[in-house]
Structure 1
Amino acid sequence: MIRLATEEDIPRIVELYRELALSTSQVELRRSPSSDDYRRVFAEICASPGHELLVAEYQGDIVGAMVLVIVPNLSHGACPWAVVENLVIDHRHRRRGFGRLLVDYAIARAKETGCYRIVLTSDKRRREAHRFYRALGFDASAHGFRLYF
């Protein structure tokens, strides 16, 4: 089941995001956020128009998470566009359809809100993820750049 995250889901979502960071060899935390920090940020996400923090739930456990953002836009006929970020599935539950459910939800929401495209980025070393995205119809048609602080 795909649903909007609740405040009670925060600890499990943070666990999943740590797993995602480790899979790309990035330093996940440069500081140690408190529970209050996570709750504050969660509230900001929930209050931000167009932002949805989603979870995939299976047998009462959160097995995946994703952020979907619908971005207002003045180009392309003033049509919005969508971005998927921080998509992660617990390594014990991969290849069981949960990632597809999350992405299918994102695509449906993007179409429903009139988006002209949906984009996502994936670390260039995550070849398995790239195969997954291609199988869902995504095309590696752009070259992305990042600047970390």
Structure 2
Amino acid sequence: MANQETPRIRIEKAQTSHLREIVEIINAGAASVRRGKEFSSWQEYAPALEALSSAPEADIYVALNEQDEVVGTYQIHFLKGIAYKGRPRVEVESVHVRADQRGNGVGRLMMDHAEEIARKIDACMVQLTSNKEREGSHNFYLRLGYDQSHLGYKKMLV
């Protein structure tokens, strides 16, 4: 049974000092398509974090507990388009909560944070994909009011 008490969590943009914990969390939650294809050292992810952090169309956030430990992370991308009179849409990617913190409200706080950002830029929607293996995540997104409206396809190049 999940803990109903939401922990004291703050969400902020990721810093280089968070990188090791981010990599540990996302690789621990990797679906089978990524297993065995990631780097062996967290330092190898530094250029990716720098590129994501400096890109105007994207950001990466961390959820920090009272001890300043990274307990969750997500990426947000701002997409332009013609539909909805050109209003932007927001895509949320790589949502991961540290295994020992799942069920404590961290994921909900991060998704609320992403939706708040989307509203501030007058986005028409928040969209995301979730690996078909991650049934617990699917139920989580449905509980938050997301509709499973599309089929997604990927072609791996690595």
Taking structure 2 as the reference length, the TM-score comes to 0.86
The counterpart of 2:128, out of the listed 120, 136, 142, is 120
Q: 1:92-131 residue pairs with structure 2 within 5 A?
A: 92-131=100-139
Note the aligned Cα RMSD (angstroms). 1.6
Query: SS of the counterpart of 1:119?
Result: strand
Unaligned residue ranges in structure 2 (runs of 5+)? 1-9
**Deviation digits for residues 88-141 of structure 1 (CA, Å, limit 9, x no counterpart):** 001100000000000001111111111101111111121111111011110101
1:142 aligned residue: 150
1:11 aligned residue: 20
1:56 aligned residue: 63
Query: Which residue identity is paired with 1:64?
Result: G
Runs of 4+ off more than 6 Å: none
Query: Which residue identity is paired with 1:39?
Result: A
Higher helix share: 1
1:42 aligns to 2:49 (yes or no): yes
**1 CA distance for matches of 2:114 and 2:49?**
19
When residues 29 and 43 of structure 1 are mapped into structure 2, their CA distance, relative to the original with a 3 A threshold, is: farther
Paired residues in the alignment total 147
**1 CA distance for matches of 2:42 and 2:141?**
33
Query: Which residue identity is paired with 1:136?
Result: L
Taking every aligned residue pair, what percent have the same amino acid on both sides?
A: 26
Higher alpha-carbon deviation: 38-47 or 81-90: 38-47
Displacement of 1:34: 5.3
1:81 aligned residue: 89
Taking structure 1 as the reference length, the TM-score comes to 0.91
**2 CA distance for matches of 1:50 and 1:31?**
24
Higher alpha-carbon deviation: 97-106 or 29-38: 29-38
Displacement of 1:37: 3.6
1:70 aligns to 2:78 (yes or no): yes
Unaligned residue ranges in structure 1 (runs of 5+)? none
**1 CA distance for matches of 2:100 and 2:59?**
24
